[in-house]
Amino acid sequence: MESPRADFLIQRQEGKSRRGATALRRLWGRLGKVTVLEYKSPVKSSFRCGDLVRLVGYGALYHARHAKLVCHCDELTLVLVVASVTPTLVREIEQMGWTLETMEIGYARIHGTMYPCFVVIIDDVCQVERSELLRVFSHHPVTDARADAWISYWMKEPKMKGPPGFSRAEADEFMRQVMGRLPVKTRLAGIAPEELVVNLPLDALRALSNEYIQSLAPDVRRKVQQRLRTGSAKAKAAKTQGPSSTKKTATPASRRPRKAA
């Protein structure tokens, strides 16, 4: 079993000058001395049953290990950041006997937990606070060029190999959703035209003129021609292959009786 590890641990520094928050502006004033924060992406399966209880467990473990720093429960805050409130989250709150209270648009509090627990709903917060950067983590499309540049930068290797803690399928789904919300120009940024040609659908490749194919770089031309040959061979094989023949056997009633010797 892996050791428990929360996404973020935030510790308030006393005596430090505070600047105005530029994101999640209604959250920071509610945090205690220490905050354990868990983030769940817009992927449907990101929040699973037990994740909220696990967050409370993270808080309890931190409290037990740092009892001198956190003397009272109110000094430790739990924060769950989600794109939207899902049925799984609502069901878990009800099963634990807790209640969810909406404080203002995009922010809610869970009552009944041993530590103050807040929920941030990114779909709503990014609209109210007009934050294009937060839209990257929501279900809304990304429209701002700066947000496009940010996500394009962090998607490059080795900065981001995939969301931590995800299975390969979930990570792929996450990236598909993020890419799907980006403008076409951003999605194609950094891809050479030759690479786009090689990855065109087979029907589109067949529509290319021979003159255009001959004008491509040698390695690209070879790949295109190889795809065309492979596609033609498969199509020819499928056309010439008839339906699978089944061996007919005579039914007992149609068999002739053997003559007695």
Q: Read off the pLDDT band of 82 (50, 70, 90).
A: very high
pLDDT at 257: 52
Q: 119: which 2 tokens? A: 């929920």
Strand order in 34-39's β-sheet? 8-11, 34-39, 76-82, 117-121, 107-111, 99-104
Q: What's the pLDDT score for residue 80? A: 96
Is residue 167 predicted with pLDDT exceeding 60?
Answer: no
247 pLDDT more than 70: no
Residue for token digits 């409130």?
85
**What pLDDT, on the 0 to 100 scale, is given for residue 177?**
58
Structure confidence at residue 104 (pLDDT): 92
Phi (first) and psi of residue 237, to 5 degrees: -65, -40
- Provide the pLDDT for residue 205: 83
Q: 211 — phi, psi (to 5°)?
A: -65, -40
Show me where the domains of the chain are located: 8-130, 141-190, 193-233
Average pLDDT over residues 79-83: 94
Output the average pLDDT for the chain.
78
Q: Residue 158's pLDDT band (boundaries 50, 70, 90)?
A: very low
Please report which confidence band the pLDDT of residue 203 belongs to, taking 50, 70 and 90 as the band edges.
confident
CB 38 within 8 A of CB 51: yes
The candidate with the shortest Cα–Cα distance to 35, out of 52, 49, 15, 55, is 55
Q: How does pLDDT run across 112-152, given as a tens digit for each residue?
A: 999 999 999 999 998 888 877 787 777 777 776 666 666 66
Neighbours of 143 (CB within 10 A): 12
User: Given this model, what pLDDT does residue 147 score?
Assistant: 61
Contacts of 65 (CB under 8 A, 6+ apart): none
Tokens describing residue 20: 């105005």
Confidence of residue 78 (pLDDT cuts 50, 70, 90): very high
Give the residue-averaged pLDDT of 173-198: 61
User: pTM for the whole thing?
Assistant: 0.57
Handedness of CA 158, 160, 165, 169 (dihedral sign): negative
Whole-number pLDDT of residue 175:
57
Tell me what pLDDT residue 50 has.
Answer: 92
Share of the chain above pLDDT 70, in %: 68
Q: Which residue has the higher pLDDT, 170 or 6?
A: 6
**What is d(CA 97, CA 48) in angstroms, rounded to the nearest whole number?**
18
Round to whole Å and give the CA distance between 1 and 17: 41
Q: Is the pLDDT confidence value at 98 over 80?
A: yes
What is the DSSP code string of the chain?
Answer: -PPP--SEEEE--TT---PPPSSSTTTGGG--SEEEEEE--SSTTSS-TTHHHHHHHHHHHHHHHTTTT--SGGGEEEEEEESS--HHHHHHHHHTT-EEEEEETTEEEEESSSS-EEEEEHHHHHHHTT-HHHHTTSSSPP--HHHHHHHHHHTSTTT-SS-TT--HHHHHHHHHHHHHTS-HHHHTTT--HHHHHHTS-HHHHHTS-HHHHHHS-HHHHHHHHHHHHHHHHHHHHHHH--PPP------GGGSPPPPP-
What is residue 113's predicted lDDT score, i.e. its pLDDT?
96
Could you tell me the two tokens for 82?
Answer: 């989600």
